[in-house]
Amino acid sequence: RSLRSAENYELETRHHSRLLFLRSEWSTRRIDELAGILSQSVVLVIECFRSSFPPNTHPAILHPNTKSVADFISYSSAIMTLMEESNNEPFQYAVTLHLYPAFRRLKSGNTREKVVEDMGCCWIALGSLVLDLFVPDAPLDPAAIQNCTTERKCRDQHLIEIQMNLHRTLEQLTTGNNHSDLLDYLKCISNGISQQLESAPSLPLRKNIARLDMFWAEVRQFHSHVLSGSKIQELVGLLTSGDKNAIAREEVLQQSMAGFYRRLATVYTDYPDLSAPLRLAILYIRMGMRLVAYSALQSSSISSHQVFSLVAFPSARSSANICKDAGTAGPIGVA
Report pLDDT digits (tens) over 37-96: 898 899 888 888 888 888 776 666 677 777 788 888 888 888 888 888 888 999 999 999
Distance CA 285, CA 290 (A): 8
Min mean pLDDT across 105-114, 220-229, 249-258 is at: 105-114
Give the pLDDT of residue 30. 81
Cα 38 to its chain centre, rounded Å, is 8
Question: Residue 24 — very low, low, confident or very high, per pLDDT cuts 50/70/90?
Answer: low
> If you compute the radius of gyration of the chain from its CA atoms, what whole number of angstroms results?
29
Report pLDDT digits (tens) over 230-287: 999 999 999 988 888 899 999 999 999 999 999 999 999 888 888 999 999 999 999 9
Q: What is the pTM of this model?
A: 0.73
pLDDT, the chain, mean? 81
Give the pLDDT of residue 76. 84
The percent of residues in the chain predicted with pLDDT above 90, rounded, is 28
CA angle, corner 220, sides to 218 and 224, nearest 5? 120
**Does the pLDDT of residue 317 top 70, yes or no?**
no
Cα end-to-end distance, the chain, whole Å: 61
Min mean pLDDT across 180-189, 304-313, 320-329 is at: 304-313
Give the pLDDT of residue 205. 76
Report pLDDT digits (tens) over 198-216: 887 777 777 788 888 999 9
Over residues 305-315, the mean pLDDT reads 44
**Secondary structure of the chain in the HEC alphabet?**
CCHHHHHHHHHHHHHHHHHHHHHHCCCCCHHHHHHHHHHHHHHHHHHCCHHHCCCCCHHHHHCCCCCCHHHHHHHHHHHHHHHHHCCCHHHHHHHHHHHHHHHHHCCCCCCHHHHHHHHHHHHHHHHHHHHHHHCCCCCCCHHHHHHHHHHHHHHHHHHHHHHHHHHHHHHHHHCCCCCCHHHHHHHHHHHHHHHHHHHCCCCCCCCCHHHHHHHHHHHHHHHHHCCCHHHHHHHHHHHHHCCCCHHHHHHHHHHHHHHHHHHHHHCCCCCHHHHHHHHHHHHHHHHHHHHHHHHHHHHHHHHHHHHHHHCCCCHHHHHHHHHHHHHHHHHHHHC
**Does the pLDDT of residue 129 top 50, yes or no?**
yes
Give the pLDDT of residue 319. 53
Contacts 24+ apart (CB under 8 A), 107-112: 107/73, 108/70, 108/73, 110/332, 111/329, 111/330, 111/332, 111/333, 112/31, 112/298
Best-predicted range by mean pLDDT among 25-34, 103-112, 258-267?
A: 258-267
CB 120 within 8 A of CB 290: yes
Give the pLDDT of residue 65. 74
Give the pLDDT of residue 60. 62
Min mean pLDDT across 78-82, 131-135, 314-318 is at: 314-318
CB 189 within 8 A of CB 163: no
Exposure letters 193-203 (e unless 16+ CB within 10 A, then b): eeeeeeeeeee
Over residues 134-153, the mean pLDDT reads 84
